Structure 1
């Protein structure tokens, strides 16, 4: 039967498949547009299934704040070209909106299927890799940041006493600067107390071995080991790192300074750091 160009175009608009694919599907389905669309989707799903084992090293992080909630999601795909695709970006925005609307706290079929429709059209392996929903309590200041390449997204939340200080511009700026800091330095821990004891013991063994041959008394060697450990912890713990906008003070000291300047007791409540693939 004759397949009209207008019918091919209409099917292409609906499915996103190529013109020849649409024409062949219409021919195979005797001009039935609904059946042709179903056939194309099945072929798309089959193509995605074949590619399911392929690496998804590209993608983007999406963040959306609404009221007292902040949603963050990491979507992965195979190529940087697709990660910058307008349809991929739109699905990411829809997913964080859905997280906010439904209160989802983990990846589920609903969120995955929102991305699957695009994957069947583009025929590239894609995943909703992880999501998180942050509840910002009353009297807290929150900030978000997504790096220009879309591959890093950060959320920080600081408790404020008095609660009215949560609207203070300087505190909001500090919270945002902390997002920038985390994106830049990617601390492994928030504070020293969070570091696993086994990891600390391992580092002590390494530093002890490094100082074993030094011609110094044991107590001096022990001091060197402790100094090396303190320096290492200051490099990997957020609160001990030198602040991104003032390398003369640590993040903890900067928080104290901002608190004094605003007459506020600040308390770090939440840090979320999504780095693509990490």
Structure 2
């Protein structure tokens, strides 16, 4: 009889998925050593060896269903995996789980089950069969009100995904335009009102020091200097705010103007770019291949 404890032990030893471990134990009549060999022969046990690798490539996805919108990122080690059918199928699975289950955090998402198998197990199996470390890195579940609407855009097949919540006169073109703006211009906040006070204060201190060290400005009155500093602060922070950015379809117009003319405002947005914030390891690919081939 194959017990849950036996499956757990084999998983810990091989890094293989729950269903694969159960199948291995069944095939090998519960013999642990033979089960490990069975998984190795099938190429499944190698998943555990990938755990210390850096996964900074992959794809993002954005999807909308009713009043729910999601954005998520699944990472791999190389860009080649983005074309792998199993990897793309995994993205579809994660999308469906997030839309249906709306998990609160990453642990909850990984614990969600699909046909009796957890998302964590599905990812482990994909890691083993594809041959690269694969991780569900992050996701956002966004709920909108009935009087709001979504704008969604995916750039370069999923290298960047943006989800925008808009309020006002519903317009599909405006929704897509603003989602494209967020994807391409990478604002950090909707407006200065959403910007943390410490961010503004930090920029003010930087600009104050710059002005102090400018001999041409040193003789100007305090009030004039204060105005110059605030002007510099606004100029440097405007690109961080969506409504103050130049509209990508018309650089002579601010996004805020475009929104006002369209009778729309933006309560919030989410933007994910693949690998942002991950420190990528610079490897010599040729050396790595030689090392794997000849065990150097």
Which bracket does the TM-score occupy, shorter chain normalised?
0.7 to 0.9
- 2:164 is aligned to 156
- 2:62 is aligned to 63
Q: CA deviation at 1:43?
A: 7.2
Alpha-carbon distance between aligned partners in 2 of 1:105 and 1:45, rounded to the nearest angstrom? 30
Alpha-carbon distance between aligned partners in 2 of 1:38 and 1:177, rounded to the nearest angstrom? 54
Equivalent of 1:142 in 150, 156, 162: 150
Q: 1:196 to 1:136 in 2, by over 3 A?
A: closer
Contact 2:190 2:268 in 1 (8 A): no
Q: CA deviation at 1:218?
A: 2.5
Q: 1:29 to 1:273 in 2, by over 3 A?
A: same
- 2:203 is aligned to 203
TM-score after normalising by structure 1: 0.76
Aligned residues: 234
Q: CA deviation at 1:219?
A: 2.2
TM-score after normalising by structure 2: 0.72
- 1:4 is aligned to none
Is the partner of 2:260 in helix, strand or coil?
helix
- 2:122 is aligned to 114
Alpha-carbon distance between aligned partners in 1 of 2:228 and 2:133, rounded to the nearest angstrom? 51
- 2:98 is aligned to 99
Contact 1:64 1:97 in 2 (8 A): no
Q: Which runs of 5+ in 2 are unaligned?
A: 1-23, 112-117, 277-296
Q: 1:100 to 1:256 in 2, by over 3 A?
A: same
Is the partner of 2:86 in helix, strand or coil?
helix
- 1:89 is aligned to 88
Q: 1:83 to 1:38 in 2, by over 3 A?
A: farther
Alpha-carbon distance between aligned partners in 1 of 2:167 and 2:262, rounded to the nearest angstrom? 13
Q: How far does the alpha carbon of each residue in 1:67-109 deviate from its partner, in whole angstroms, 9 at most, with x for none?
A: 2222222100101111221110111011101211223243223
Q: 1:199 to 1:102 in 2, by over 3 A?
A: closer
Q: Which runs of 5+ in 1 are unaligned?
A: 1-24, 260-265
